[in-house]
């Protein structure tokens, strides 16, 4: 009886060791290993480290101090830009002073020199002062627009950004007008008719 059981066990082991079954077993093991490798690759391919944290946290809010500074700078820049268009008391004072100096210097000069000194020089003085105001406004508004804290608020449509853009546009217009005044584009100097 014991001999028969041993023979059956040996037959089963021999049948399992046939080349075809060995190949099938090896193929199954290889496919299982490949599937395990693919799972590992898939885990590493689709996992983005820190992605969830970046999506869950908003960018750091700028401090209240920087918000006040950029807001005040935007208001100042817009006011300077508007002044470059309308003129200021400073441009009026400089214009009157240049006119007085011209009258003193050309009191005995020709009519053309008196017109240039009394009208042309004050006109150019106004253009110069307004142009300086426009350049300063461009620098201030540009600083507001390029400031990192202000850029962070730009996505939320903060009023300082809109004001700085408006000031920039007004400053460019003021600079163009000042240049046109300097080069006498709007009006030439008055001339004395020939007698």
Domains of the chain: which residue ranges?
2-46, 64-182
- Average pLDDT value over all residues in the chain: 75
Give the span between the Cα atoms of 130 and 106, in whole angstroms: 26
Task: Give residue 158's pLDDT band: very low, low, confident or very high (50, 70, 90).
Answer: confident
Residues 123 and 181: beta-carbon distance below 8 Å: yes
Q: Are 139 and 74 in contact (CB under 8 A)?
A: no
* Per-residue pLDDT, 152: 66
* pLDDT > 50? residue 40: no
8 A C-beta contact, residue 146 and residue 92: no
Kindly indicate the confidence band of residue 153, based on its pLDDT and cuts at 50, 70 and 90: low
Instruction: State CA 147 to chain mean position distance.
Output: 8
Model confidence at 1, in pLDDT bands (50, 70, 90)? very low
Q: Is it the case that residue 80 has pLDDT exceeding 60?
A: yes
The region of weakest confidence among 21-30, 55-64, 136-145, 158-167 is 55-64
- pLDDT at residue 47 in the model: 46
| Pick from 3-17, 19-33, 114-128: least confident | 3-17
Q: How far apart are CA 53 and CA 48, in angstroms?
A: 10
Q: Which residues contact 29 (CB under 8 A, 6 or more apart)?
A: none
Q: Flag whether pLDDT at 185 surpasses 60.
A: yes
Query: Would you give the DSSP letter of residue 186?
Result: S
- Confidence at residue 105, expressed as pLDDT on a 0 to 100 scale: 80
Instruction: Indicate the pLDDT class of residue 147, thresholds 50, 70 and 90.
Output: confident
Q: Report percent pLDDT > 90 for the chain.
A: 29
Condensed to tens digits (0 to 9), the pLDDT of residues 94-112 reads 988 988 888 888 777 777 7
Mean pLDDT of 125-129: 93
Report the candidate in 72, 81, 82, 76 with the shortest Cα–Cα distance to residue 149: 72
Write down the pLDDT at residue 171.
96
Question: In the structure, what pLDDT confidence band is assigned to residue 93 with cuts at 50, 70 and 90?
Answer: very high
CB 177 within 8 A of CB 131: no
């Amino acid at each position: 009886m014991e001999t028969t059981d041993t023979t059956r066990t040996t037959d089963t082991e021999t049948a399992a060791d046939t080349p075809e079954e060995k190949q099938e077993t090896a193929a199954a093991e290889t496919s299982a290993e490949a599937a395990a490798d693919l799972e590992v690759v898939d885990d590493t391919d689709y996992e983005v480290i820190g992605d969830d944290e970046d999506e869950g946290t908003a960018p750091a809010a700028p401090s209240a101090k920087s918000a006040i500074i950029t807001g005040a700078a935007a208001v100042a820049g817009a006011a300077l830009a508007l002044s470059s268009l309308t003129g200021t008391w400073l441009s009026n004072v400089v214009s009157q002073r240049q006119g007085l100096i011209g009258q003193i210097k050309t009191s005995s000069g020709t009519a053309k020199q008196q017109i240039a000194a009394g009208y042309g020089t004050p006109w150019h003085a106004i253009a110069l002062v307004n142009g300086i105001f426009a350049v300063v406004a461009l620098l201030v508004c540009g600083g507001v627009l390029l400031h990192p804290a202000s850029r962070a608020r730009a996505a939320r449509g903060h009023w300082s950004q809109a004001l700085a853009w408006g000031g920039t546009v007004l400053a460019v217009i003021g600079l163009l007008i000042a240049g046109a005044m300097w080069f006498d584009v709007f009006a030439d100097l008055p001339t004395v008719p020939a007698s």
